[in-house]
Amino acid sequence: MAEPEEQREHDAHDGTDMVGTVPRGLLCSSNTKKLVLHIDLNNTIVVCDAVTAQGTVAALDYFLSTVTWGQMDTHGRWDWLSDAPSLLPPCDDAVCYYSQFGRMPGFTSAAGQRFSQVLQQHLDLLSWPEGVKADKELTVKGEDGRLYHWILPSFFQLLRDLVHAGRDFAVLFRTFGTDLPRVLRAVSRVLTEGAHPLFPDLPDLKLSVNLTPGKIRCSKKGCVLSRGDECVSSRDGERAQYQYLSSVQGLGGFQDHFDWWAGNTFSIHGGKPLWVDPFDSSLQHIFIDDNLRQKDHDTIVHPKVFLEPGGADTRTASTCELYDVNLVQTDLLQAISDRSYFTKRVNICMENYESNLQQGAG
């Protein structure tokens, strides 16, 4: 598949809401393929981390250390190369602060103080609506005592936009963490009870949620997907796993295999598996995760691309090859500030995917 234009990474980030407006790409009548969206939780649609015990403030502070850039000078001192956060480095030899120094509590109150205003601005945007009662599954109390959204409103806006556009789609939450059952419960309440103050109409969308968390476990022998009584193994061929994930309906989720990723030095080969069939014009899988990187030795999704139509054999595709086609690196700041962020990213992937299919046909 052809590499997409990297300059599209930051387009359409105007910070405006799109309530009631469906972007042009989702409405394209000639494009009727089903979308299966694989969506990470922590620092993608949830701004906290139960595994590392990070609250909202700490999680957002940590994210800023991964998207701010510099380099060591000849005297061994850190030299900042960016005045604003960005997913991509400002130059080839730039290094993000986290990669150089590791996790640093209180980043924006110490070395990253120049980004403290960015932190505060986005915490303000994350605040639960004033005067609205706290909800035990939709709100979280930050370390600063303030009440915040637990799930980003931009995620619920994506669901609304997809339904209003008449899209056939499914959503699978994919996480290494332990928050999956709570997320499934919370999303179910929003979609069935209208529990979210910003999206009281979502029950009208008639979306279903499978509350049974699944598991994905990998080993040298292959990969096993299980959920309830369902079980699909790569011993039956990787085509079976692709077909299983392609056939899902509504919303659900799987806990991926963190120990396998760690055992593969946090590289692409131990990442969350994603099966992609570039010959399938009827369906598109898209994975959205903040830990996606264009360096395959340090990324979180393992794309497995089928080699021929209907075949069972796959190859590992590089992240760069599928970036903004089947893979989206979450810009958490934009996901907080722009209600239509996820809709726009899905749009870009759809457009790039169509271009690649047309080039392949040619």
pLDDT in tens, 268-279: 999 999 999 999
Element (H or E) spanning 222, and its range? strand 222-227
pLDDT for 160 beyond 50: yes
Based on the fold, state whether residues 303 and 352 are members of the same structural domain: yes
- Neighbouring CB atoms inside 10 A of 243's CB total 13
Task: Judge whether 204 lies within some domain.
Answer: yes
Name the band, by pLDDT with cuts 50, 70 and 90, for residue 23. Answer: low
User: How many domains does the chain contain in total?
Assistant: 2
Task: Judge whether 26 lies within some domain.
Answer: yes
Based on the fold, state whether residues 77 and 197 are members of the same structural domain: no
pLDDT for 203 beyond 90: yes
Based on the fold, state whether residues 187 and 317 are members of the same structural domain: yes
pLDDT for 14 beyond 80: no
pLDDT of residue 19: 42
Stronger pLDDT, 361 or 81, i.e. the higher one: 81
Number of H helices, E strands in the chain: 11, 16
Out of 170-174, 197-201, 292-296, least confident range: 292-296
Name the band, by pLDDT with cuts 50, 70 and 90, for residue 15. Answer: very low
Q: How far apart are CA 26 and CA 176, in angstroms?
A: 30
Give the pairing of strands 250-255 and 214-219.
parallel
pTM: 0.90
Task: Judge whether 164 lies within some domain.
Answer: yes
Start-end of H helices in 1-47: 24-27
Out of 27-36, 59-68, 73-82, least confident range: 27-36
Following CA atoms 273, 274, 279, 282 in sequence, which dihedral angle do they give, to the nearest 10 degrees? 140
Q: What is the mean pLDDT of the chain?
A: 90
Out of 21-35, 209-223, 227-241, least confident range: 21-35
Domain boundary (123, 150, 177) is at: 150
Based on the fold, state whether residues 130 and 215 are members of the same structural domain: no
pLDDT digits (tens, 9 = 90+) for 112-153: 999 999 999 999 999 999 999 999 999 999 999 999 999 999
Based on the fold, state whether residues 226 and 91 are members of the same structural domain: no
Based on the fold, state whether residues 72 and 211 are members of the same structural domain: no
Task: Judge whether 262 lies within some domain.
Answer: yes
219: left (phi over 0), alpha (psi -120 to 50) or beta: beta
Query: What does the DSSP 8-state code read for residue 3?
Result: P
Domain boundary (103, 123, 150) is at: 150
Are the CB atoms for 347 and 22 separated by under 8 Å?
Answer: no
* Percent of the chain clearing pLDDT 90 (strictly above): 83
Cα→Cα distances 188→35, 250, 275, Å: 20, 11, 27
Task: Judge whether 1 lies within some domain.
Answer: no
Name the band, by pLDDT with cuts 50, 70 and 90, for residue 48. Answer: confident
Based on the fold, state whether residues 177 and 227 are members of the same structural domain: yes
pLDDT for 27 beyond 60: no
Residue with tokens 């595709």: 317
One-letter amino acid for residue 87 of the chain: L
Based on the fold, state whether residues 56 and 161 are members of the same structural domain: no
Residues written for the chain: 362
Based on the fold, state whether residues 14 and 112 are members of the same structural domain: no
Based on the fold, state whether residues 90 and 178 are members of the same structural domain: no
pLDDT for 18 beyond 90: no
- Neighbouring CB atoms inside 10 A of 336's CB total 22
Based on the fold, state whether residues 38 and 164 are members of the same structural domain: yes
Average pLDDT over residues 10-31: 48
pLDDT of residue 2: 41
Q: How far apart are CA 319 and CA 316, in angstroms?
A: 9
pLDDT for 62 beyond 70: yes
Average pLDDT over residues 337-353: 96
User: Cα–chain-centroid distance for residue 187?
Assistant: 16
Element (H or E) spanning 265, and its range? none
pLDDT for 362 beyond 80: no
Name the band, by pLDDT with cuts 50, 70 and 90, for residue 21. Answer: low
Based on the fold, state whether residues 146 and 156 are members of the same structural domain: no
Average pLDDT over residues 96-124: 96
Q: How far apart are CA 202 and CA 225, in angstroms?
A: 30
Domain boundary (150, 170, 203) is at: 150
Domain around 268: 6-46+152-361
pLDDT of residue 4: 41
Name the band, by pLDDT with cuts 50, 70 and 90, for residue 53. Answer: confident
Average pLDDT over residues 152-165: 97
One-letter amino acid for residue 221 of the chain: K
Q: State the burial class of residue 196 (Cβ atoms within 10 Å of its Cβ: 0-12, 13-18, 19+).
A: buried
Average pLDDT over residues 215-234: 95
Average pLDDT over residues 233-262: 95
